[in-house]
Amino acid sequence: MTDPFQDVDAGGDDFVDAVAQALEVRAQEPIMVKIVEDYLDLISYPPGGIHIEVGAGTGVIARRLAARATTGQVISTDPSPGLVAAGQKLGTGISNLSFEVAGGASLRFDESSIDTVLFHTVLSHVPDPSLLLAEAARVLRPGGTLVVCDADFEKTSLSNFQGDPLDMCAKYFAENFVTDKYLVSKLRALVADAGFDLTHFEVTSRVITQGDGGMTWVGMGGQHMVKSGQIGPELAQGLVAEYQRRKENGSLYGHLPFATLVAQR
Ligand SMILES: C[S@@+](CC[C@H](N)C(=O)[O-])C[C@H]1O[C@@H](n2cnc3c(N)ncnc32)[C@H](O)[C@@H]1O
């Protein structure tokens, strides 16, 4: 089963809309805001600097980057035309932010021309992350900054008890919507092999006790099981209802560690 994030548009308009919404919702969670703002603190923003986000989806993180890089420009790139179109609408009026359809293994930028390359939950969705890291190394200027933030999907959990059906959805999502759920464990070696000097590595717990962040696992996972003929729509609806019930009665408990890596070219 291929990770649908490798080609979001192939999933159709409804899937593009669902992904766009899920990315926007996730980025608003207080813990995700903190993770992002903490790594944005570690980037330098020289006048005229060029910062690119690769695999930016709707550009929800690129918008935050643009708010920091006020004297430079931010280019939000993604291979999905549908997500780029959604991002262009959401980013309207931000003068130092532009959008491009592009895959991360082949960027149009000259070598040593870019100040920052950011990958936020992208490398776990590609078959060969070393190709994207090599391209980042090519376009970054010497001393430029690489930021990688990714989820340790192997530890995805939505578990309140042994055999919890919501936890099955979380595990199903990690199996079917992620290309390499062990990416985080390999990240430091991959970045070193691409010629970068590691300056920062930390892992932060994204704990989900409210909101719809974990609904991505239950909703998308359930829909995928229905489409595959594994369960009927009634069960998928029941799983969504159970997520809502836990959200309302205060028993929702999800967990996914996020790693942040910063390195210099
Ligand atoms: C989970 S989303 C993350 C989007 C965004 N970075 C965020 O966190 O909101 C993964 C993104 O990786 C993109 N992607 C998949 N394959 C890619 C590739 N080869 N190069 C660049 N981006 C890719 C997808 O189109 C999708 O937008």
20-59 pLDDT per residue, tens? 999 999 999 999 999 999 999 999 999 999 999 999 999 9
C-beta of 214 in contact with ligand 1 (< 6 A): no
Contacts of 177 (CB under 8 A, 6+ apart): 3, 4, 5, 220, 221, 224
pLDDT of residue 125: 98
Phi/psi of residue 57, each to 5°? 60, -125
pLDDT of residue 241: 98
pLDDT of residue 122: 98
Mutate to test the pocket of ligand 1, among 21, 60, 122 (most ligand atoms within 8 A of CB): 122
C-beta of 102 in contact with ligand 1 (< 6 A): no
Give the three-state DSSP class for 208. Answer: strand
Q: What would the two tokens of residue 47 be? A: 């006048």
Centre of ligand 1 from the C-alpha of residue 3, in Å: 11
C-beta of 79 in contact with ligand 1 (< 6 A): yes
Q: Closest ligand 1 atom, CA of 104?
A: 20
Centre of ligand 1 from the C-alpha of residue 197, in Å: 24
pLDDT of residue 244: 97
Nearest CA to ligand 1 atom 15: 6
Amino acid at 202: E
Q: Beta strand 140-151 with 114-120: parallel, antiparallel or unpaired?
A: parallel
- pLDDT beneath 50: ranges in the chain: none
pLDDT of residue 210: 94
Centre of ligand 1 from the C-alpha of residue 38, in Å: 21
CA 244 vs. chain centroid, Å, equals 24
pLDDT of residue 71: 96
Centre of ligand 1 from the C-alpha of residue 115, in Å: 20
pLDDT of residue 167: 98
Centre of ligand 1 from the C-alpha of residue 86, in Å: 14
pLDDT of residue 152: 98
Q: Which residue has the tokens 């390359």?
A: 117
C-beta of 59 in contact with ligand 1 (< 6 A): no
Q: What would the two tokens of residue 258 be? A: 């996020």
Closest by CA to 57, choosing from 94, 26, 96, is: 26
Question: What CA–CA distance (Å, rounded) separates 222 from 106?
Answer: 34
pLDDT of residue 254: 97
Task: Please state the three-class secondary structure of 34-87 as a single string.
Answer: HHHHHHHCCCCCCCCCEEEEECCCCCHHHHHHHHHCCCCEEEEEECCHHHHHHH
Centre of ligand 1 from the C-alpha of residue 131, in Å: 14
pLDDT of residue 29: 95
